[in-house]
Structure 1
């Protein structure tokens, strides 16, 4: 299943999707941290990711219009990747210590282009994957995404701290985007191509009209927001926590992310795809969601235990494993919720809502909560923050089962 022509390109395309997120998030946090930018300013740097939340606003343009090359979805993917190469290399010409706000502005542009790539990539997944391929496609997407984040997170920290420096590391990361660009060139077109909306007005209105005509629409949107909220809080300033709160160096954090995080991600993504072929969607969401919440306790152990690289490695590895499982199930849920005619807009809405917690709650509130409770109390609280999403999932079990049945009926 993983080697099907429709499925395997999602691995390198997922890599290209995950690469910019860390470079405008955790890695940028680390760069600012070692150059002594204040914690409050680092916290507000998380607002750079706002475009990931608002991307549904321009997603109808990608449903309505196609570029004159590579098909309805791949053309937008390829153009976005070329712009990201340029943007990341330009970031490598600045510094948080001397040019924090110009760098933040440029990072915001990179996020906008990255969000545009994600709109097209998510719609491509809806178009290209057959019903029986969704589990494997979601798994490879998550695996590629995590590999991209590890390359631009763990590997980038090691390279920046020990060999290349921050500026050259950003140049290298821009070059790695070529992996996705090549994949976009060779990826197949869907066997069945849905016709684009005839007008821009239809592209804007119809996706929302179709989605909100479903009686369970609002409950499912709330589930999308809450399902990964605890995970978002735990990860908001995790790099800063490991460096300042845990006392580990950037290279140590990067090396653990690179080795244990990479192994855990591969195991989690492939296991998620295999388990989803056997579990119904609801059971996968519940099981993986519980594990995702419990994985936050690993950071609590790091916060209360003496400095120990093995403890830190186990915490990071467990979080990557469970995060990969939870995201695979979450992606499969979003794929099942989308109408192929409006895939760009509907998936953008769903993924944007999933970013609400990370962007507008976790980033700004995490420094405040850490100030009140300290790092140990904060990570315990993130487990409790996960509970409402799991409770809502339990209450909407019948809705999830209907999505599963509709996919099986195909």
Structure 2
């Protein structure tokens, strides 16, 4: 690949669409989680009620249940992928605007219903966006495309998280802030008119039965299918363990203030993740999928030693910044390669369902390591625990090494257009 070809990857509409649609995908998440919790806290609701609202996020875990419908049916406008994106984004804009008219103390149940609707539509948008990314990106663009998706998603979370809290508290008030977020969501619809269709659209399933069972038959007919599923669970498991209790560790284990941790995590951590994803995506153009997965997997495992260093050295703000920066940088690189792997494993006829299933499987570690992390810290202490997270990452790297031929085969098939 020449330098001119490399630059063309960043100039094309497919990569630009990843940024715009990544922003639309990330915008609703905080509005039903952290930002909504802050609004309810300011309004004086009790902690049990606030905790109950966290259940609306279950839609993101179970989104694979309705993904086959989005593979099977095509809306009347803009095609199979962009048509569903249009419907979900318009629905999100309306539902977020509706939340503005439901103050927590006066209309709690209406707010709960709208928050659940936003989470459902947001999870549905994620299903179609992941499928669209898999369908539209060329194999050589997947690393960069994954990185740009992360960039758009993280920027949106910053807007609907930190910026939204500041606007609600200092400038607009809560209802007006939610109306502004709804307007931003509606503006994202314009990007769909510019986003390109895949060069060769895949055939949609002919029946709902094929849409449900076809993705499973297709995946498990492949050599090494069960090992691929295990790799998806293990690849970022060490990262998941390291991040599960990181805030508690920095405050209670090391002794930093909540303000110090918030500033470093929300600014330096976010910036490092974005830089890592973009840098990892650009490296993938030269390294290819397998070598990128291997290199970034080793780096994200070793980067957990930064937390171990914090546990065994005197407290210092610069040390915390270095540890969080390196860990997020390497984690962002690993995420870019991992998302590219998920794209490579999907059959474009069933990409919505297969990607939803694979990403749900990948989230097992992130969602369920929290309780076991607490027990391990209590039994071992912080320093041995973070050494243990490095050890937990090793099986995923070793399995990847053993599956070298399989990953190379999928990469070759993707480049051949299969």
Q: TM-score range by the shorter chain?
A: 0.7 to 0.9
Structure 2 CA distance, aligned partners of 1:37 and 1:384? 41
3-state DSSP of counterpart to 1:289 = helix
Structure 1 CA distance, aligned partners of 2:310 and 2:65? 40
Structure 1 CA distance, aligned partners of 2:274 and 2:149? 11
Structure 2 CA distance, aligned partners of 1:298 and 1:181? 41
Cα 1:69/1:32, change in 2 over 3 Å? same
* Equivalences for residues 278-357 of structure 1 within 5 A: 278-302=286-310, 308-357=316-365
Which one of 189, 198, 207 corresponds to residue 206 of structure 2? Answer: 198
Q: How far is the alpha carbon of 1:338 from its aligned partner?
A: 1.0
Aligned to 2:196: 188
Which one of 394, 397, 404 corresponds to residue 411 of structure 2? Answer: 404
Structure 1 CA distance, aligned partners of 2:390 and 2:352? 32
Q: 1:86-136: CA deviations, max 9, x gaps?
A: 4445666566x9999987776554332222111100111122112232222
Q: How far is the alpha carbon of 1:296 from its aligned partner?
A: 3.1
Which one of 382, 386, 401 corresponds to residue 394 of structure 1? Answer: 401
Which one of 162, 174, 177 corresponds to residue 185 of structure 2? Answer: 177
3-state DSSP of counterpart to 1:68 = coil
Structure whose CA Rg is larger: 2
> Is the contact made by 2:150 and 2:274 (CA closer than 8 Å) also made in structure 1?
no
> Is the contact made by 2:141 and 2:285 (CA closer than 8 Å) also made in structure 1?
no
The total of aligned residue pairs comes to 406
Structure 1 CA distance, aligned partners of 2:157 and 2:146? 16
Q: How far is the alpha carbon of 1:278 from its aligned partner?
A: 1.0
Q: How far is the alpha carbon of 1:365 from its aligned partner?
A: 3.8
Aligned to 2:4: none
Q: How far is the alpha carbon of 1:230 from its aligned partner?
A: 2.2
Kindly indicate whether residue 257 of structure 2 is the aligned counterpart of residue 248 of structure 1: yes
> Is the contact made by 1:11 and 1:140 (CA closer than 8 Å) also made in structure 2?
yes
Kindly indicate whether residue 369 of structure 2 is the aligned counterpart of residue 362 of structure 1: yes
Q: How far is the alpha carbon of 1:233 from its aligned partner?
A: 2.9
Unaligned stretches of 5+ in structure 1? none
Q: How far is the alpha carbon of 1:352 from its aligned partner?
A: 1.2
Q: How far is the alpha carbon of 1:218 from its aligned partner?
A: 1.0
Cα 1:253/1:404, change in 2 over 3 Å? same
The alignment's TM-score, normalised by the length of structure 1, stands at 0.83
Q: CA RMSD in A?
A: 3.6
3-state DSSP of counterpart to 1:225 = helix
Q: 1:3-58: CA deviations, max 9, x gaps?
A: 2022211012112223334455566677889989879x96x977654333322211
The alignment's TM-score, normalised by the length of structure 2, stands at 0.82
Cα 1:313/1:279, change in 2 over 3 Å? same
Structure 1 CA distance, aligned partners of 2:169 and 2:383? 27
Structure 2 CA distance, aligned partners of 1:319 and 1:180? 31
Structure 2 CA distance, aligned partners of 1:379 and 1:197? 46
Kindly indicate whether residue 227 of structure 2 is the aligned counterpart of residue 219 of structure 1: yes
* Equivalences for residues 1-400 of structure 1 within 5 A: 1-24=9-32, 48-88=56-96, 93=102, 107-156=115-164, 172-178=180-186, 180-239=188-247, 246-250=255-259, 252-302=260-310, 308-359=316-367, 361-373=368-380, 375-400=382-407
> Is the contact made by 2:92 and 2:185 (CA closer than 8 Å) also made in structure 1?
yes
Structure 2 CA distance, aligned partners of 1:380 and 1:270? 28
